[in-house]
């Protein structure tokens, strides 16, 4: 199996071939997803909610993400491995570089940071030091208390324009990938078309370059609730491997996300 790389993901965008992604937190699930030809595996700070039972992602530490990254890397032969930098782990340049180095040494091929144009210097500093960066815009869970909850972002014209400006700034700073979460379909389309780097959506409509879901949501086993933007593929198939296969097929064909999984 040919290993997925940044240039490979870029080629998928250029060819208008959808990118498929899931979260993973251990070697066994990573191996299963990898064998089904998933393109990207994210060790998300979502582990705080789906594994630890926290109310949000804020308590997650760098050491915890590194632990799960090592496990996922051991189970992965093909997929591109992306790791979240947790809340306040990139508050200062010194913290940023040390914590990013920890995650890269654990097996990540790229780190993901939440935030807009204010992150430009942070991103350029990481890239200069050989650390590939994925941005994250829209509903950024680490800012849940600023937003006043898990809410769709960018519905007002001014806020939509700001998100487009932020996306362009992240790309200009050197980000090579963007995750776009919980924005209206039209905004997801506009940002995807504005950027030359791949945009992976979650609740951002069907027009992004790819899709990602939290694995627990895709299997319908999340402890809290099923987000509108997700789909229970295990319920439809009755088998985990077939569930992953169907998710990949529907993302590739454009069948997922449907309008019922998107925001207007």
**SS3 letters for the chain?**
CCCCCHHHHHHHHHCCCCEEEEECCCHHHHHHHHHCCCCEEEECCCHHHHCCCCCCCCCCCHHHHHHHHHHHHHCCCCCEEEEECCCCCCCCHHHHHHHHHHHHHHCCCEEEEECCHHHHHHHHHHHHCCCCEEEEEECCHHHHHHHCCCCCCCCCHHHHHHHHHHHHHHHHHCCCEEEEECCCHHHHHHHHHHCCCCEEEECCCCCCCEEEECHHHHCCCCCCCCCCCCCCHHHHHCCHHHHHHHHHHHHHHCCCCCHHHCCC
**Are the C-beta atoms of residues 188 and 180 closer than 8 Å to each other?**
yes
pLDDT in 10s for each residue of the chain, 264 residues:
799 999 999 999 999 999 999 999 999 999 999 999 999 999 999 999 999 999 889 999 999 999 999 999 999 999 999 999 999 999 999 999 999 999 999 999 999 999 999 999 999 999 999 999 999 999 887 776 565 556 788 999 999 999 999 999 999 999 999 999 999 999 999 999 999 999 999 999 999 999 999 999 999 998 767 788 999 999 999 999 999 999 999 999 999 999 999 998
Give the C-alpha separation, 3 to 39, whole Å: 9
Domain boundaries, the chain: 6-261
Beta strand 80-84 pairing with 199-202: unpaired
Residues facing residue 115 across a β-bridge: none
Q: 211 - beta bridge partners? A: 20, 201
How remote is the C-alpha of 258 from its chain's centroid? 19
Give the fold, CATH level 3, of 6-261: TIM Barrel (3.20.20)
Q: Rounded distance, CA 96 to CA 18, Å? A: 31
Q: Per the structure block, which two tokens stand in for 71? A: 């496990």
Q: What is the pLDDT of residue 144?
A: 67
Burial call 96-106: b when 16+ CB within 10 Å, e when fewer: bbebbebbbeb
* Tokens 């362009």 sit on residue: 168
Predicted local distance difference test score (pLDDT) of residue 249: 98
Catalytic center residues = 181
């Amino acid at each position: 199996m040919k290993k997925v790389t940044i240039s490979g993901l870029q080629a998928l965008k250029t060819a208008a071939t959808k990118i498929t992604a899931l979260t993973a937190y251990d070697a066994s699930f990573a191996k299963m997803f990898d064998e089904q030809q998933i393109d990207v595996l994210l060790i998300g700070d979502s582990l705080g909610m789906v594994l630890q039972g926290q109310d949000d992602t804020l308590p997650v530490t760098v050491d915890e993400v590194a632990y799960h990254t090592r496990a996922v890397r051991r189970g992965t032969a093909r997929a591109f491995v992306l790791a979240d930098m947790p809340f306040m782990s990139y508050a200062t340049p010194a913290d940023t570089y040390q914590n990013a180095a920890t995650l890269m040494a654990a097996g990540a091929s790229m780190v993901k940071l939440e935030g807009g144009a204010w992150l430009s210097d942070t991103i350029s500093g990481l890239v200069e030091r050989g650390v590939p960066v994925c941005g994250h815009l829209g509903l950024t869970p680490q800012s849940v208390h600023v937003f006043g909850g898990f809410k769709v972002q960018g519905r007002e014209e001014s806020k939509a324009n700001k998100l487009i400006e932020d996306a362009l700034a992240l790309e200009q700073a050197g980000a090579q990938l963007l995750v776009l979460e919980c924005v209206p379909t039209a905004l997801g389309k506009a940002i995807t078309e504005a950027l030359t780097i791949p945009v992976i959506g979650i609740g951002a409509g069907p027009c992004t370059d790819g899709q990602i879901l939290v694995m627990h949501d895709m299997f319908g086993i999340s402890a809290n609730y099923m987000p509108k933007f997700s789909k229970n593929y295990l319920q439809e198939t009755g088998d985990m491997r077939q569930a992953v296969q169907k998710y990949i097929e529907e993302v590739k064909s454009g069948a997922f996300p449907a309008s019922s999984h998107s925001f207007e």
